[in-house]
Amino acid sequence: MKTRLVTLLMCLGFGVNTLMVSVNAEGALPLSVPGEGDLPSLANMLETVNPAVVNIATYTTVQYSNPLLDDPFFRRFFNIPRNAPRGRRTQSAGSGVVVDAENGYIVTNNHVIARADEITVHLADGRALQAELVGRDPQVDLAVLKVEADNLSAVDFADSADVRVGDFVVAIGNPFGLNQTVTSGIVSALGRSGLGIEGYEDFIQTDAAINPGNSGGALVDLAGDLVGINTAILAPTGGNVGIGFAIPANMVGAIMQELIDHGEVQRGLLGVSVQALNAELAQAFAVERRDGVVVVDVEPGSAAEAAGLAPGDIITRVGRREIRRLSDFHSQAAVMFIGDEVDVEILRDGETEYLTLELAENTQQQVLGRRVDNKLTGIELENFWNPDDGASSGVLATYVDTRSKPYAYGLRAGDVIVGVNRRTVRDINELRDAVLLDKRQILLRVYRNGRFGTVVIR
């Protein structure tokens, strides 16, 4: 029997060494299921987890323009009212995960519910529920919904800091509208960033098949605990090619709680610019360490300055997270909120020191453009508010160097920036957040001489 089982497992793609792994070992495949002979199966785990993964249907009214409707003769001939609605109803689908059965909280991707007029959640038992949007965070691509229902099933969170490359994982979602589809694979890589998908990126990469409609679904370990929220695929054709990405559970949990508590994410401004430590910098600072990030600039009056950070400091740990790469630092900044006190470990002059960052609400009124993004080098910005119109606000470009890139692309002193990357901005803090949405370009909506225009800086 054992020989036949080994042969069968090898045909299924499992190596003989799989049989030698303890059933209770983390990341190990189950060797048997009661009543199912000696064949490995994930059926018991999935019977528990599947009811917590839901289908999310969204309905959106898309406005459109038709020149004929602007023609008085056409409207009069066909008896069309002047204010007739000009829109069509569209529907899209995605996935979500129940994370709090008692309170009815569901986590999904922001892009699944963005611009939705109506959100309907379909449970595995056939119930259809109207969902309320609790809050969303476009920079991490997460949103929290709430439904009123009894007898919900929820998943428990794994500690995603313990996930290792090679761990077995299972993706559950509704690809192409096919309910409760399960695929399996392994963790292919950790800490993926620089993909230009979201503002803050710290993805778990997996080869478990993820397709359109899987967005917002669950990536779980073999114990059925939530490792991450599936969010994106990397494929020229839009289909699965074995490269999928999930937002780690620890980040999901922190953002989720912030959205539940406040309805929005209130990130604290660190006020520090950093770059990755490399061999040349390590030699310049006379340190043996070859990983971490180096402080290159500290914003006056910021939390970083108050904590005592200075250019040349090498940051090696923020909170519980060890900082080995630039992506480690940026992803940790994604879960640092106003009111937090965060311990920071640094190397300074070869000695280890410990500082505490106290993240207060950002009240910054002026900033150099380069402190927001290098593409904005050569300009100066300040918060703008029109006392004659309390609802009119934005960020004023008080100075634009004529030799700068922003000037070359069309930005001028006196322009009021009211939108960045298709997000409304009312102050410098919101401008910073919006710039993170697209690393390739900065799309500015500006108000100048009574008119609105667009400036794209690449």
Task: Tally the residues of the chain.
Answer: 458
What is the 8-class DSSP label of residue 362? Answer: P
Task: Give the span between the Cα atoms of 183 and 404, in whole angstroms.
Answer: 50
Residue 141 among the catalytic residues: yes
Catalytic residue (choose from 92, 95, 111, 415): 111
DSSP string of 382-437, one letter each residue: EEEE-TT-TT-EEEEEEEE-TTSHHHHTT--TT-EEEEETTEE--SHHHHHHHHTT
Task: Give the span between the Cα atoms of 383 and 137, in whole angstroms.
Answer: 23
Residue 262 among the catalytic residues: no
Is residue 202 helix, strand or coil? coil
Unique residue bearing structure tokens 């800091």? 161
Catalytic residue (choose from 92, 95, 160, 215): 215
Residue 111 among the catalytic residues: yes
Catalytic residue (choose from 137, 141, 207, 433): 141
**Residue type at position 342:** V
Residue 178: count of CB within 10 angstroms of its CB: 11
Residues designated as active site: 111, 141, 215
